[in-house]
Structure 1
Amino acid sequence: MNGKQKFYLLLALFQIVLALTVFFSIEGLTNLVAAQTETFSVPDTTPDMDSTSVAWLALSASISVGAGVLAAGWSIKTTGTAAISALSEREGVFFKAFLVVALCEALAIYGLIVAILIWTKIP
């Protein structure tokens, strides 16, 4: 196993551990909140949403931002390298290269917009 394969294996393992940690911490937090709300009888003025649905909304908002930023970074890396090599050969392709890189940056903005739309659904 060379260094690159080992790096990707460790990266995948880290992502699995991170996902499990987030899942179990959200589950623990929702149980803690549920235990606290059972002892007090405070009138609830928010819409009927339990803590697990709020946690899923928050998790999906964070995943949309994370996936959008990762996709934007990967695409900027790929197209940016190609744009720089194209610019070194011909300077006339600057606008086309700049446009492609700018469109790749829009992926992160789309992820942020989706996260804001999901976030507004949280009471």
Structure 2
Amino acid sequence: MKMYMMKTKRKFVLSLIVLQVFFVVLVVLVVNSLVGTGIAQETIDYSTVTPFVLAISAAVSIVGSTLAAAIVIKSVGTAAISALTENEGVFFKAFLVIALGEALAIYGVIVAILLWLKIP
């Protein structure tokens, strides 16, 4: 059983590493594309698709961050309540972790507002 858990843990860590590498490559490509576009154009000319893409991006930002925060608060909240019933000294730690989970939703709303303000 222990060997199976180690294999599962290694697969999980490997998948996280692959995902991080993918996101780093994606960010580099997007930044290079944006910098090249910004240098080539003096004025920004929005196409008809840009407002729709920005609106969908804002919606995805809110939905994704809200779902992630809900999952974190559900998981951590139940564990925090269980820990508080056994030991009241862990209140601050539990509160801190739940607040960090809620910060996910707040950051998603901030990103969505920034995207929404860019809609022409």
TM-score for the superposition, normalised by structure 1: 0.60
User: Considering only CA atoms, is the larger Rg found in Structure 1 or Structure 2?
Assistant: 1
Match of 2:102 in 1: 105
Matched, 1:80 2:68: no
Runs of 4+ in 1 over 6 A off after TM superposition: none
Residue ranges of structure 1 left out of the alignment (5+ in a row): 1-46
What secondary structure sits across from 1:49 in the alignment? coil
Opposite residue 77 of structure 1, the aligned amino acid is K
Cα distance, 1:66 vs structure 2: 0.5
1:119 equivalenced with 2:116 (yes/no): yes
- Quote the offset at 1:80 in angstroms: 0.3
Report the number of matched residues: 77
Structure 1 counterpart of 2:57: 60
CA displacement, residues 87-108 of structure 1 (integer Å, 9 cap, x when unaligned): 0110111111011101100000
CA RMSD of aligned residues (A): 1.0
Aligned equivalents of 2:65, 2:48: Cα separation in 1 = 26
Q: Distance in 2 between matches of 1:51 and 1:81?
A: 47
Structure 2 stretches of 5 or more lacking a match?
1-43
Quote how far apart the aligned CAs of 1:51 are. Answer: 2.3
Q: CA deviation at 1:74?
A: 0.3
Q: Which of 67, 70, 77 matches 2:67?
A: 70
Structure 1 residue aligned with 2:46, among 44, 49, 73?
Answer: 49
Instruction: Provide, for residues 38-69 of structure 1, a one-character-per-residue CA deviation record: whole Å limited to 9, x for no partner.
Output: xxxxxxxxx63222111000000000010000
Q: TM-score, normalised by structure 2?
A: 0.62
Q: Aligned partners of 2:48 and 2:60: how far apart in 1? A: 18
